[in-house]
Structure 1
Amino acid sequence: MTATLTPAPTVADRPVRVRIGHIARRAGVASGVAWLVFAGLNVVLSGRWWLWLVPDLLPPLAFAVVPAVLTVGAALLRLGRRPLLIALAGLAVGGAQAGFNPAALLPSPGDVAGTHLKVVAWNTEVWDDWDDPARFLAFLRAQDADVYLLQEYEENGLHPGDFPGYTAIERGELLTLTRLPVRRVVALPAEPAPASSWRQVYEQVKSLRVDVMAGGETLSVYNVHMPIQLDLVSPLSPGFYRQLRLRDAARHRQYTALQSDVRGNRNPVLVAGDFNTSPAMGDIRWLTGSLHDAASADRSLYPASWRSYWPVDLWRLDWAFTSDPIAVQRYEFVDPRGMSDHSLQRIELTVRRTR
């Protein structure tokens, strides 16, 4: 009997399943590396390069969802160690940019001694233009805040008797109402010329500092509304990149002025408003690095404040930051009841005595 020798299998004879597995592993590695590089570049370039304002439009949740999907896919498809580790690295880098609030898992802050205040900050979406004025005013009054930091205030929108007992300070679209004694007012980047029109002040002043007396301390409250990143213009339009650079320059100018004033301010400070900056954007890294995010007193794992035309808030554009002498007991976003595309920030805090 003559033995028949079976030829060794060639590449073409490999099972289809093996070839598919090889392709899947390569795709898993490539996808993971691409996302890891993008997430790393976002950390480095966001807030530093004008062209990155376009990637800044990406919803911050994507920085958690995309690497999480890659991680689960690598595990379920058994793609091996390398794709899984790369996907996990992307989750570690991007997860911090997604806007989650780990402080919500910690115990609520306790009461501390000092002067207790309630502050409201809210982008009113052009005051009461599309709302019932009486309903709008009743909603604001019901907050019963010691200080209101309101953005998108409309010229001549406030009438005598609307807020009895409050001092009103306005610069363009920024309106600060307070029932505390006022010591000083500073418009940033600079006080507009006396002959400036309301619209000119609107364009120039995007931060309004008001120093008030809180107990025996001088508290500086900053009312902030930063310019948006860009208008909805086609990237194929020749004016798209020009207006992108102009927007970036405007934001940089406003942030630089605010940063300089806050860092030179020895008073306890509260900086709050609509920053038009998501958790994935680098424009506020100096604030998160030097002040305390009031969300540490929020019980929400994913604090979000901006909803556009959706029925729920999508991600956070509104922020509140405090310096060390201030303890935040409670922080929450309040449903605007259809009167704005931004939720209202309600902040309950205590100003400790510093001397």
Structure 2
Amino acid sequence: MAATTVWTVFLVLTVLLTGRWWPWFLVQNVPPLTLVAVPLLLLALLPLARPVRRPLAAVLVVLLLAGAHLAGYGPGWGTVTSHPPGTPVTVFVWSTRYWEMSDDKDAFYAFLRRQHADVYLLQEYLYWKGDQPVRIDDSARLRREFPGYRASVEGELITLTRLPVVTAHHAPTPGGTGDWYWKGTKFQRTDLRVGGRTVSFYNVHLPVPFHLGNPFRANTYRASEGRSAWWTGELGKLRADVVGNPHPAVVSGDFNSPWMKGSSLGGGTRLHSPSASWLPPRSWPVSGFPLPRLWRLDWLFTNQDLAVADDRFGGGAAFSDHTAQQISLIVPAHTP
């Protein structure tokens, strides 16, 4: 009974505080699987609470269903079963883990070419040296590997497209050393012509919202508070841009949060998820960390009448700690 009470309080606080209070950023990164595993464990221990077994069982079933919903268990949502008439667009989204810094460069580019996407939304277009980000310029190689594509770079974000570019939006770049990364924008907006319409593609890489350090030192918590404010501020800027954008929008990338299902980007955005399994999709880590693949950090939102015909994770483990996301969109003809 005590454990059930504690878990109920934890679940309520998760709903109320996730993404809103900086100390909770340290807690909310538990694997979503935990929201199902804990009530299942308590249900298995019910014989130890025989006098209150029935009412406790009812409470735990409610907690299990609520946790499963929050964690993303159940059928996928947001994809369409029949394709509306319109222009198909393939989108490839991937956090590259510092471009091809420690990879076989030829194999890295061969992997990208094999996707044959109309639009590539790629994150971590940079190198890392010690504790400092390093800007790179691989434009000459990109032109050779992707003839007919246009590349647009914003900080550590790069969008490649063979669709006509209407506007490549760029935020002002801070001038200090490293400020392009630490103070620059964490999303990139590119407006593309699709059929007869303009569609905005948002390439997102929000910062890690907490700092892992010595728990007995105050600067660990100050750093965590600063990082959570950074994450929240960048998400707020993204929301404001989406809400003020009259064009239909595709918003995708690495949000560095497993709980975007409970967040809204505004502007009528809808969250999408692969529909092939009742298990929640997991995109991190697929390599590079001694951790099981239990988190989804990479998300997809659309708004207005854009339809997602297919959305799946797969590939990229040879080069990155994130699996890639492959998306098939349908952009309907504009109806006045």
TM-score (norm 2): 0.88
- CA distance, structure 1, for counterparts of residue 196 and residue 160 of structure 2: 20
- CA distance, structure 2, for counterparts of residue 182 and residue 272 of structure 1: 18
Matched, 1:287 2:271: no
210, 213, 216: which one aligns with 1:236: 216
- Change in CA separation of 1:107 and 1:275 when aligned onto 2, cut-off 3 Å: closer
Query: Which residue of structure 2 aligns with residue 19 of structure 1?
Result: none
Matched, 1:271 2:255: no
Query: Which residue of structure 2 aligns with residue 179 of structure 1?
Result: 162
CA offset at residue 318 of structure 1?
A: 0.2
Query: Which residue of structure 2 aligns with residue 126 of structure 1?
Result: 98
Query: Which residue of structure 1 aligns with residue 112 of structure 2?
Result: 140
SS in 2 for 1:338: coil
CA offset at residue 296 of structure 1?
A: 5.2
The within-5 A match list for 1:245-260 is 245-260=225-240
- CA distance, structure 2, for counterparts of residue 354 and residue 244 of structure 1: 45
8 Å Cα contact 1:291-1:322 kept in structure 2: yes
Deviations 1:12-53 (A, max 9, x none): xxxxxxxxxxxxxxxxx1111110110011100111111111
Q: Give the aligned residue type for 1:120.
A: F
180, 192, 210: which one aligns with 1:212: 192
- CA distance, structure 2, for counterparts of residue 90 and residue 311 of structure 1: 26
SS in 2 for 1:168: strand
Query: Which residue of structure 2 aligns with residue 191 of structure 1?
Result: 172
8 Å Cα contact 2:75-2:275 kept in structure 1: no
Moved more, 325-334 or 86-95: 86-95
Q: Give the aligned residue type for 1:63.
A: L
8 Å Cα contact 1:101-1:295 kept in structure 2: no
CA offset at residue 234 of structure 1?
A: 1.5
SS in 1 for 2:71: coil
Matched, 1:149 2:129: no
29, 38, 51: which one aligns with 2:10: 38
8 Å Cα contact 2:29-2:257 kept in structure 1: no
Q: Give the aligned residue type for 1:143.
A: Q
TM-score (norm 1): 0.84
CA offset at residue 191 of structure 1?
A: 2.5
Report the number of matched residues.
320
SS in 1 for 2:169: strand
Give the structure with the higher percent helix: 1
CA offset at residue 330 of structure 1?
A: 0.6
SS in 2 for 1:277: coil
Moved more, 91-100 or 285-294: 285-294
Matched, 1:330 2:310: yes
- CA distance, structure 2, for counterparts of residue 311 and residue 336 of structure 1: 17
- Change in CA separation of 1:344 and 1:101 when aligned onto 2, cut-off 3 Å: farther
Moved more, 174-183 or 304-313: 304-313
Query: Which residue of structure 2 aligns with residue 84 of structure 1?
Result: 57
Root-mean-square deviation (Å): 2.3
- CA distance, structure 2, for counterparts of residue 30 and residue 312 of structure 1: 30
Matched, 1:305 2:277: no
Query: Which residue of structure 2 aligns with residue 201 of structure 1?
Result: 180
CA offset at residue 107 of structure 1?
A: 9.3
**Runs of 5+ in structure 2 lacking a partner?**
127-135
- Change in CA separation of 1:257 and 1:298 when aligned onto 2, cut-off 3 Å: farther
61, 67, 80: which one aligns with 2:33: 61
Moved more, 150-159 or 62-71: 150-159
- CA distance, structure 1, for counterparts of residue 27 and residue 241 of structure 2: 29
CA offset at residue 310 of structure 1?
A: 4.9
